[in-house]
Structure 1
Amino acid sequence: MKKFSLSMMIVLLLGFLAGCASDGGEKDTTANQKITFGVTPWTSTIPPTKIASLIIQDMGYNVEEISADATNVFIGLSRGDIDVFMDSWLPLHDNLLEKYADQIEDTATSYADVETGLVVPAYMEDINSISDLKGNENLFNHEVYGIESGANVTGIINELIEGYELDLTQVNSSEGGMLAQAKRSIENEDPVSFFGWRPHTMFNKYDLKVLSDEQNFFEKAAVHVITNNELKENAPDVHEFLTNWNISIDDVEEMIVKIEDEGADPEEVAREWIDNNQDKVNEMLGK
């Protein structure tokens, strides 16, 4: 009887230890699993990426960020090198979605009805539409300023210039370079036209107007979350969270101001948003 009891105790102990090892193994698997975000060089990309990253880390995953232009982010998504992109602008990125449709998924809408297009300062009272640029190109030194040449919107602006038969050349640089040129012109109240969009601090800093576009090269945009097709199988809880993702454009713009103008740490700003919106976070997590 004693031998039987001792044997049973050993079996139970081994079973318990095996169970612990199994649980620990699962946790380690999750902890060692990495979720990779694509990050474009736009201020609008940072707040949603940081918020989602912190929430996913709280779920037990490691997180990595890869910086690239939008085209290369989509290439990374299609190859599985990138799992998530939080800042895809539709319809601007429709061609990339279609190109990699077999490898990627349009997972959620962050926010919609985003105004985007060519902008001018409000003091240019006679310039209110793209058509008004025709014949006034010399006011702008025959230049319009855009973001990096690899961005999808660069091609749209070039098509717009051709479609409206404007004697303008698009000058491309980084978002910061474009805005630095715009700032110099606005401070001197000189004519200037450049690419503008919300959410962005440019509309907080300057009195701007988006030029009406009669030929509809620019439509109101919606910002979407894009994931690669492997995420749903590899990290179903992360995929479910991202499927439920949404945020207001006003919240994103407010966070951009804190980060860009006030010099706040992006992760601290994101954590503050999470703490102040825990009910919304729980809803996105399906709790």
Structure 2
Amino acid sequence: MIHFLKKGKWFLPLSLCALVLAACGDNNSGEAPDDESSDAENDKGEIELVLVAWESEIASSNVIGNVLEEAGYDVQLTTLEMSPMWQSVAQGDADAFVAAWLPSDMQHEYEEYGDDMVELGPNLEGNRIGLAVPEYMDVTSIEEVTPDNFDQIVGIDGGAGIMNATEDAIEAYDLDINLMTSSDAAMTAELGAAIENEEPIVVTGWQPHWKFNTYDIRFLDDPLDVYDEEEEIRTMVREGLEEDEPEAYQILDNFYWETDDMNEVMLNIEENDMEPADAAQAWIDDNRDTVDEWLDTGSEE
């Protein structure tokens, strides 16, 4: 079972019943505690994955977490702010994260901590960030993000790379408009409310994100190229993980999926009210061939 060390938007604590079972065991199960057929999660080491509480990273972390558990690891997911996420892996306090939005969104953290960890390359490519508006808006370019058209830009967490890029855009385009700091959840709630009433709104946007599937929205043109046209999400692991847990290291290195895959998990969480671990497992069950490729590490049991 995946354990959540720090409660985030989508994470619920273990039930009291589960805690009692974990502490005391099930004496009526018909299996001895040291039986060779005991749960696979007790067969291998513990892997701690850290993540930022963005819908995209909740989806990807739960998927790879479930896959690592299938391989026999005891997985813990810990939600952190962005800089502590990087710092925890750089210092070896956590094992990995699959949430490095680069080259621009987490550029500062990458420059500060990247040399102290191992980069396994992209697990998803073709990302994009920028400013987004509903299709019913007449504006097409960032140059038109003015008080005549919008009250403010609705953003997310202060310090996020997309917020820094948006501040750069405000300066580059000489926009006389305020950037509102909130959160991913608050931003999408504002977006949904505005669309329901066909009101003007401009938000910090990135793809993949379920809002592009749920709502009819589009990116604004960026003639000054303030935002990178395409980004990627990379997997970062602590130094020494390959030596300590070579199979987990290889699974993390094998992890790669597409935008539609991530969106499917996010949509099940957001629109179908599935728990993240359940949505992740549903995707795993429907994409067995892909997951088996991730699990193919060449190791012999």
The TM-score, its normalising length taken from structure 1, stands at: 0.84
Question: Which sits farther off after the overlay, 275-284 or 158-167?
Answer: 275-284
Letter in 1 for 2:219: V
Aligned to 2:163: 154
Alignment of 1:133-148 (within 5 A): 133=145, 136-141=146-151, 143-148=152-157
Match of 2:143 among 109, 122, 131: 131
Q: CA deviation at 1:115?
A: 2.5
Question: Separation in 2 of the partners of 1:278 and 1:28?
Answer: 19
Q: CA deviation at 1:47?
A: 2.1
Question: Separation in 2 of the partners of 1:188 and 1:112?
Answer: 34
SS at match of 1:197: strand
Letter in 2 for 1:279: D
Structure with the greater alpha carbon radius of gyration: 1
Aligned to 1:262: 272
Aligned to 2:87: 75
Aligned to 1:12: none
Aligned to 1:224: 234
SS at match of 1:102: helix
Aligned to 2:195: 186
Letter in 1 for 2:101: W
Question: Separation in 2 of the partners of 1:196 and 1:137?
Answer: 19
Q: Gapped runs of 5+ residues in structure 1? A: 1-23
Aligned to 1:97: 110
Give 4+ residue runs of structure 1 displaced > 6 Å after superposition.
27-30
**Per-residue displacement from partner, 1:224-264 (whole Å, max 9, x unpaired)?**
11112221121111111111110111011011111111111
Matched, 1:40 2:49: no
Question: Separation in 1 of the partners of 2:43 and 2:159?
Answer: 35
Question: Separation in 1 of the partners of 2:44 and 2:123?
Answer: 28
Q: Residues 137 and 38 (structure 1 numbering): CA distance in 2 closer, same or farther, change over 3 Å?
A: same
Q: Paired residues, what number?
A: 258
SS at match of 1:53: helix
Q: CA RMSD of the aligned region, Å?
A: 2.1
Report percent identity of matched pairs.
Answer: 29
Q: CA deviation at 1:154?
A: 1.4
The TM-score, its normalising length taken from structure 2, stands at: 0.80
Greater helix share, 1 or 2?
Answer: 1
**Per-residue displacement from partner, 1:109-158 (whole Å, max 9, x unpaired)?**
12211222100111112x1111222xx323212x1111111312211111
